[in-house]
């Protein structure tokens, strides 16, 4: 790569370490949608969905959009709604309440949308498993289109079209898309169809890529191929601040720099999700569709407040869950799947609890909120190689859960009663082999070594050319050999900040996120004055107008 394409050695090493061949390096560093976009009709039922949407546009129908209460659902609903409203259609968005309605379409909401005049119902980021509610929609005379990406059962619900790259008979190879990516392809197909029908002044779909990028990062789908192009191009759109709602949310998050992919996952996404977790589930979709600056500022402020409240609720719940799992693993250290439950936990944070347990203990984890009605609402997170969504669907088929589904890395489920033991035993048995195999090869893969003096802001910017990084595209990790911890302390919400010094006297700042109570954070705090081999990623820390490199510690080892 360095010889044939003139790339700096370090950048070439990072790319080759991720399987990028020399001939592919330019396309990887400069991904273009025109080179990666498939024909949307390669998705099963896309032609039928396009025909029905084109009919709705031509006859100016009232369209109902039923979304999910997460970022992907909000972005998908906003994408479709903005497009249809551009043609003068009346569009009603319904985002279900997580607690009172649960995930996916329900008969009561479908009936209300029909009574409000809708003749077409489009389910985005949901609906693939919604047999009963979509049967109810058909009985009312509502046409239904599903645009989804979740794992699909063998028997699909009644609908005019079910467009889902993860349905069993779909051979498109696009199963890595989030729902917003599927919706975007549907709009590409619809634009093509309307152009063929002689419709002029078609929407500029490139301007909507900010929403696709946001959903792609926040839904933690692999940042490879088409998804990577969505994020790279979508970030360019977002930096233009043309979407009032997103600009207001970036301001509420106090983001003064140009947004990067990690900002979407750690700053923007959690704030939009906060509405669906502990507040008004419709806030995210309203923020992403509003054209009123004052409304956008108000919604963004409310989401920021809800996010702070969510953080406090989450911190207490995670501490309790980790203590429970520490005790459980003392008696059964090889337990393949962790399942925690409490009547004290808010249903909106169980997915976050599961994520923290997965990070802390390195195996799939489920967290359940025990409800007053006797049911248990749970959310799970998995590790690469252990398909949690498939296992949950199998548990539903076995009669161990009322409903559930998801994808390989995340799933949700509802149990008929508060006893989670049978469900936990089933998951443990089903996933034991996959988890064992995944943990057996678990390793910290390093891209190279660097010293405190060599870690510069310029080096970080060079590495960022290989990004964006995320699921399926791991951020480069470097070892800093024989560095002394000269200072360390707790900052913010349980983060550990440190200063590392190499043997030649050069120093670099470091941080370890959410680590204060964990073994890694405790080791850093107790290690002042000692030398360690430190492993971490590199980022730019801007302070008082000056840029400097920062090490984000992910592991360390005493030099002996």
Q: Could you read off the pLDDT of 236-285 as tens digits, one per residue?
A: 999 999 999 999 999 999 998 899 999 999 999 999 999 999 999 999 99
CA pair distance 546, 525, nearest whole angstrom: 27
State yes or no: pLDDT of 433 exceeds 90.
yes
In the chain, CATH 2.40.50.140 sits at 448-558
Predicted confidence (pLDDT) at residue 102 exceeds the cutoff of 90: no
Other C-beta atoms within 10 Å of 556: how many? 23
Q: Which two tokens stand for residue 84?
A: 């249809």
pLDDT of 543 above 80: no
pLDDT in tens, 377-421: 999 999 989 999 999 999 999 999 998 988 889 999 999 999 999
φ and ψ at residue 528, rounded to 5 degrees: -60, 130
Q: Where in the chain is the domain with CATH 3.10.310.30?
A: 334-440
Burial of 175 (0-12, 13-18, 19+ CB in 10 A): middle
- pLDDT at residue 120 tops 80: yes
- Rounded CA-CA distance 221/470 in Å is 8
Q: For residue 493, what pLDDT is reported?
A: 83
**Across 343-409, where does the E strand assignment appear?**
365-370, 376-381, 403-407
Report d(CA 78, CA 290) in Å as an integer. 9
Quote the distance between the C-alpha of residue 117 and its chain's center.
33
Q: Is the predicted pLDDT of residue 346 greater than 80, yes or no?
A: yes
Q: Mean of the pLDDT values across residues 306-313? A: 94
State the pLDDT at residue 334: 93
**395's tokens:** 């548990």
pLDDT in tens, 173-183: 999 999 999 99
CATH 3.90.1640.30 residue ranges of the chain are 43-305
Q: So what's the pLDDT on residue 406?
A: 87
CA 440 to CA 140: how far, in whole Å? 53
Backbone angles phi, psi at 339, to 5 degrees: -130, 120
What is the CATH number assigned to the segment(s) 448-558? 2.40.50.140
Mean pLDDT for 340-348 is 95
DSSP state of 42: G
| CA–CA dist 129, 402 (Å, integer) | 12
- Given a cut of 80, whether residue 544 has pLDDT beyond it is no
Residue 298 · residue 290 · CB < 8 Å: no
User: What is the side-by-side strand order in the sheet with 91-94?
Assistant: 91-94, 63-66, 120-124, 143-147, 161-163
- CA dist 76 and 125 (Å) reads 7
Region 194-217 average pLDDT: 96
Q: What average pLDDT does the segment 338-344 reach?
A: 97
Q: Average per-residue pLDDT in the chain? A: 95
Q: In the chain, pLDDT over 90 holds for what percent of residues? A: 90
Please tell me the class of the 43-305 domain.
Answer: alpha beta
Check: CATH 3.90.180.10 for 334-440? no
Burial group, residue 294, by CB count within 10 angstroms (0-12, 13-18, 19+): exposed
**pLDDT band for position 545 (50/70/90)?**
confident
Q: Are 150 and 162 in contact (CB under 8 A)?
A: no
How would you classify residue 374: left for phi > 0, otherwise alpha for psi between -120 and 50, otherwise beta? left
Output the pLDDT for position 56.
98
């Amino acid at each position: 790569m360095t010889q044939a394409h003139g790339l700096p050695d370090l950048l070439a090493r990072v790319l080759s370490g991720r399987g990028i061949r020399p001939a592919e390096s330019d396309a990887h560093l400069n991904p273009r949608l025109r080179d990666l976009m498939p024909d949307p009709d390669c998705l099963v039922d896309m032609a039928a969905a396009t025909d029905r949407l084109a009919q709705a546009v031509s006859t100016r129908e009232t369209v109902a959009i039923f979304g999910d209460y997460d970022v992907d659902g909000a972005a998908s609903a906003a994408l479709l709604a903005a497009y249809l409203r551009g043609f003068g259609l009346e569009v009603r968005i319904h985002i279900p309440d997580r607690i009172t309605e649960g995930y996916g379409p329900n008969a009561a909401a479908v009936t209300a949308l029909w009574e409000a005049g809708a003749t077409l119902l489009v389910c985005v980021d949901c609906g693939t498993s919604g047999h009963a509610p979509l049967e109810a929609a058909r009985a009312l005379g509502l046409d239904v289109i599903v645009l989804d990406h979740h794992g699909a059962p063998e028997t699909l619900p009644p609908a005019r079209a079910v467009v889902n790259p993860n349905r069993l008979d779909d051979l498109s190879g696009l199963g890595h898309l989030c729902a917003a990516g599927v919706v975007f392809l549907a709009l590409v197909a619809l634009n093509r169809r309307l152009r063929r029908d002689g419709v002029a002044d078609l929407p500029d779909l490139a301007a909507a890529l900010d929403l696709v990028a946001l959903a792609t990062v926040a839904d933690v789908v692999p940042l490879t191929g088409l998804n990577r192009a969505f994020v790279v191009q979508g970030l360019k759109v977002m930096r233009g601040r043309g979407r009032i709602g997103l600009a207001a949310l970036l301001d509420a998050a106090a983001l003064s720099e140009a947004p990067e992919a990690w900002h979407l996952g750690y700053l923007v996404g959690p704030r939009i999700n906060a509405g669906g977790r502990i507040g008004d589930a419709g806030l995210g979709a309203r923020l992403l569709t509003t054209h009123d600056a004052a409304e956008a500022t108000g919604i963004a402020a409310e989401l920021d407040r809800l996010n702070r409240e969510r953080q406090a609720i989450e911190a207490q719940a995670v501490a309790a869950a980790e203590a429970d799992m520490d005790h459980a693993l003392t008696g059964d250290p090889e337990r393949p799947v962790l399942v925690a439950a409490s009547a004290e936990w808010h249903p909106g944070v169980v997915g976050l609890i599961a994520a923290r347990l997965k990070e802390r203990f390195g195996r799939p984890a489920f967290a359940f909120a025990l409800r007053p009605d006797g049911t248990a609402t749970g959310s799970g997170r998995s590790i690469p190689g252990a398909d949690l969504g498939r296992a949950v669907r199998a548990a539903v088929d076995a009669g161990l859960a009322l409903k559930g589904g998801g994808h390989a890395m995340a799933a949700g489920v509802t149990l008929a009663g508060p006893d989670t033991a049978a469900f936990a035993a089933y998951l443990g048995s089903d996933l034991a082999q996959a988890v064992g195999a995944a943990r057996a090869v678990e390793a910290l893969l390093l891209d190279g070594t660097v010293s405190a003096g060599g870690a510069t802001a310029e080096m970080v910017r060079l590495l960022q050319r290989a990004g964006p990084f995320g699921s399926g595209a791991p951020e480069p990790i470097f070892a800093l050999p024989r560095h002394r911890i000269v200072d360390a302390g707790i900052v913010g919400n349980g983060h550990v900040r440190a200063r590392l010094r190499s043997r030649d006297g050069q120093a670099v700042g470091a941080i370890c996120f959410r680590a204060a109570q964990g073994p890694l954070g405790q080791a850093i705090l107790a290690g002042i004055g000692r030398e360690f081999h430190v492993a971490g990623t590199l980022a730019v820390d801007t302070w008082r107008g000056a840029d400097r490199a920062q090490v984000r510690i992910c592991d360390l080892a005493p030099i002996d």
